[in-house]
Amino acid sequence: MDNYYYTNRERLLKLKKQYYIKNREQILENLKNKNVNVLCKCGCMIKKCSLVKHKKSNKHINIMKSNQIVTKTIYIIKSKS
């Protein structure tokens, strides 16, 4: 693995640079664009700009709570057997 990286380092860096140059506009646009959808831990697709707000919402909190219960239940079932 290390060898592969080492021998292809130059080529990979070149490719990366080329990719950046080629997609520069798009990359910068993505960084600027906060309206991209992101997947929250609770499984909801939400706008990146409203992620902070969403994490404080009842919807998110409730899902995370029920997720914890599910995880705990699975753990109890597993530890019994």
Contact residues: Zn ion, CB under 5 A: 40, 42, 44, 60
Q: Which is nearer to Zn ion, 23 or 62 (CB)?
A: 62
Nearer to Zn ion, 18 or 50 (CB): 50
CA dist 11 and 6 (Å) reads 10
Contact 42, 57 (CB under 8 A): no
Closest distance to Zn ion from the beta carbon of 42 (Å): 3
17 vs 47, which CB is nearer to Zn ion? 47
Token couple for 46: 């939400």
SS3 46: strand
